[in-house]
C-alpha cells in the first residue's frame, strides 16, 4: 500500500534550485522537491546525475547558483553548515582516529556548548541504541567496519538534528554486512522518527530502504515515487532501465485505446499499458517488459503478445535461471525462469515461444 504523508509544511524544500560550476553546464536543473518530516527519501542515479550535489547543497558544502533551499521555515542558502542542525554520515565515516568512541560522540555536543550532564546523558543513550556501550573507550582503529559505521551514525544523531544526510554510508562494507546495516538503519529511522535523505547509486539499496526514491539523470528528477511504483510503473525508459532488469522493444504507436497502446515492431506488433506521455499515432516508443513477467512455451500459448524466440545462453542464479534470447532484432532479451519451472530439454539454439500480458508491458517514450 502506498504510504501517504501529512500536507503540513515539508521539513525540506528545494524551490527552483539550479547549480553550475562553470556558468555553462548545469549539474542540477530547476529542482523542486519536498521532503516531509519522518520520511526516508533516497536520491538515486548514475555518477554525474546531480544527486550528490543536491545533498551537498542541503548540507551547506555547496551553494545553489539560483533558487532556494528551506529547512522548515528557515532559508538555508547562505547559512553555514554548523548552524543548520543537520547530521551527516559519509562513506569513509570521518571519525577522529585519535579519539575514543565516547570522545567522538561528545565532540558535536561540545562544539554546541551543551552542559556536561546533558551531554553525558545523550552519549549514554546513543551508545545504548547502537549497542556499543562496551566499546566506548576504544579508538576507531580497534573497531570493525560495521562498528565504525554505527559510531559515525551515532555521532550524526547524538545532538538530535532535525535532519540526517547520508552520502553512500554503506559503500565500504561487504555485501552481507551492508544488508545487515540497511536493516539496522531502517529500524533506527522508524524507532527515532528520523527524517533521512540518503544518496546511493545502488538501486537495490534504494528500493530496500526508502519511503520514496528520487531517480536522477542529467540534473533532473526523472521520477519520484515509492519503490513499488518505480519498479511497476516507471514513467519513462530511463527509469525502467535504471530500476531493476528490463527488456525493451523499439517500435511506433499504431493504435491508442484508453490505457492500452498497440505498438508496431520490426516484425509484428504487441500491446502494453499506455504511459501518459504517449499521445500520438506513429510516435516512436519503447515497449518495456520485466524478465520475470515473460511466460515461456505452454504458459505463453494463451497470450495475445506471443513471439517465437531463440535461446542463446543461460545463467544460473540460485533461485532462478536467467535465459538470454534473441527476439526480433534484440539478442539481449531476458527471461527469468524459476528453478522449479526449468525444463532440462531447454538448450542454446532452441526455438521457444515467449509471451506476456498487455498489463505487464509499458509503452514508454524514448529517452
Q: Are residues 225 and 107 in the same domain?
A: yes
Range of the domain at 317: 245-364
**Pair 168, 287 in one domain:** no
Assigned domain for 223 exists:
yes
CATH number at 222 reads 3.40.50.300
The mean pLDDT of the chain is 89
**Do 64 and 150 lie in a common domain?**
yes
CA–CA distance, 296 with 264 (Å, rounded to integer): 22
Same domain as 130, residue 49: yes
> Are 211 and 135 part of one and the same domain?
yes
Reported confidence tier of residue 2, pLDDT bands at 50, 70, 90: very low
Say what percent of the chain tops pLDDT 70. Answer: 96
Q: Is residue 2 part of a domain?
A: no
Among the three residues 232, 256, 290, which one is the final residue of a domain in this structure? 232
- How many domains are contained in the chain? 2
Alpha carbon of residue 119 to chain centroid: 35
Question: Based on the domain organization, do 22 and 115 belong to the same domain?
Answer: yes
| List of E strands, the chain | 12-20, 26-35, 40-44, 66-71, 74-75, 86-90, 163-167, 196-200, 212-217, 220-225, 247-257, 260-264, 269-274, 284-289, 295-296, 305-316, 320-327, 330-338, 351-356, 361-364
Query: What's the pLDDT score for residue 1?
Result: 40
Q: Are residues 120 and 33 in the same domain?
A: yes
In whole angstroms, what is the distance from residue 350 CA to residue 310 CA?
6
User: What is the reported pLDDT for 38?
Assistant: 94
Chain segment 157-168, per-residue pLDDT in tens: 888 898 999 998
Is the pLDDT assigned to residue 296 strictly greater than 60? Answer: yes
Per-residue pLDDT tens for 297-310?
A: 888 888 989 999 99
Q: Does any domain span residue 1?
A: no
d(CA 54, CA 59) in angstroms, rounded, equals 9
Structural domain includes residue 352: yes
- For residues 186 and 283, state if they share a domain: no
Say how many residues make up the chain: 367
pLDDT tens readout for residues 228-245:
999 999 988 899 999 989
pTM listed for this prediction:
0.87
Of 190, 207, 232, the residue at which a domain comes to its end is: 232
**Shared domain check, 348 and 300:** yes
Q: Do 227 and 249 lie in a common domain?
A: no
Residue 298 sits in a domain whose CATH number is: 2.40.50.140
Task: Kindly state whether residue 68 falls inside one of the protein's structural domains.
Answer: yes
In this prediction, residue 342 has a pLDDT band, given cuts at 50, 70 and 90, of: low
Q: Is residue 321 part of a domain?
A: yes
The answer to whether residue 339 is domain-embedded is yes
Tell me if 6 is assigned to some domain: no
| 82 in the same domain as 206 | yes
* Residue 282, C-alpha cell as written in the block: 506513429
| Residue where one domain finishes, among candidates 200, 232, 264 | 232
What span, in angstroms and rounded, lies between the C-alpha atoms of 54 and 62?
8
Q: Are residues 74 and 222 in the same domain?
A: yes
Amino acid at each position: 500500500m502506498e504510504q501517504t504523508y501529512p500536507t503540513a509544511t515539508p521539513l525540506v524544500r528545494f524551490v527552483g534550485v539550479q547549480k553550475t560550476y562553470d556558468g555553462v553546464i548545469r549539474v542540477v536543473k530547476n529542482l523542486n522537491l519536498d521532503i516531509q518530516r519522518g520520511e526516508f527519501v533516497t536520491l538515486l542515479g548514475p555518477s554525474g546525475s546531480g544527486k550528490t550535489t543536491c545533498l551537498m547543497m542541503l548540507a551547506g558544502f555547496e551553494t545553489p547558483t539560483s533558487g532556494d533551499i528551506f529547512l522548515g521555515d528557515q532559508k538555508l542558502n547562505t547559512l553555514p553548515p554548523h548552524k543548520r542542525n543537520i547530521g551527516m554520515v559519509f562513506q569513509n565515516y570521518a571519525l577522529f582516529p585519535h579519539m575514543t568512541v565516547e570522545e567522538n560522540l561528545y565532540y558535536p555536543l561540545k562544539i554546541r556548548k551543551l552542559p556536561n550532564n546533558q551531554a553525558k546523558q545523550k552519549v549514554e543513550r546513543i551508545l545504548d541504541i547502537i549497542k556499543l556501550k562496551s566499546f566506548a573507550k576504544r579508538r576507531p582503529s580497534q573497531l570493525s567496519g560495521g562498528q565504525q559505521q554505527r559510531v559515525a551514525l551515532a555521532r550524526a544523531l547524538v545532538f538530535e538534528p532535525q535532519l540526517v544526510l547520508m552520502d553512500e554510508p554503506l559503500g565500504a562494507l561487504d555485501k552481507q554486512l551492508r544488508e545487515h546495516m540497511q536493516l539496522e538503519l531502517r529500524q533506527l529511522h522508524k524507532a527515532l522518527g528520523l527524517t533521512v535523505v540518503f544518496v546511493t547509486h545502488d538501486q537495490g539499496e534504494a528500493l530496500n530502504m526508502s519511503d520514496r526514491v528520487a531517480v536522477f539523470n542529467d540534473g533532473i528528477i526523472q521520477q519520484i515515487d515509492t519503490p513499488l511504483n518505480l519498479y511497476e510503473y516507471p514513467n519513462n525508459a530511463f527509469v525502467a532501465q535504471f530500476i531493476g532488469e528490463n527488456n525493451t522493444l523499439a517500435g511506433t504507436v499504431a493504435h491508442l485505446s484508453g490505457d492500452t497502446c498497440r505498438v508496431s515492431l520490426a516484425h509484428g506488433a504487441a500491446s502494453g499499458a499506455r504511459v501518459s506521455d504517449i499521445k500520438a499515432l506513429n510516435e516512436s516508443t519503447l515497449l518495456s517488459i520485466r524478465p520475470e513477467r515473460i511466460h515461456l512455451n505452454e504458459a505463453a500459448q494463451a497470450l495475445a503478445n506471443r513471439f517465437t524466440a531463440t535461446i542463446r545462453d543461460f545463467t544460473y542464479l540460485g533461485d532462478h535461471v536467467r535465459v538470454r534470447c534473441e527476439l526480433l532484432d534484440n539478442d539481449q532479451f531476458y527471461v527469468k525462469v524459476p528453478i522449479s519451472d526449468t525444463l532440462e530439454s531447454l538448450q542454446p539454439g532452441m526455438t521457444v515461444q515467449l509471451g506476456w500480458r498487455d498489463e505487464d508491458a509499458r509503452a514508454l517514450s524514448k529517452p
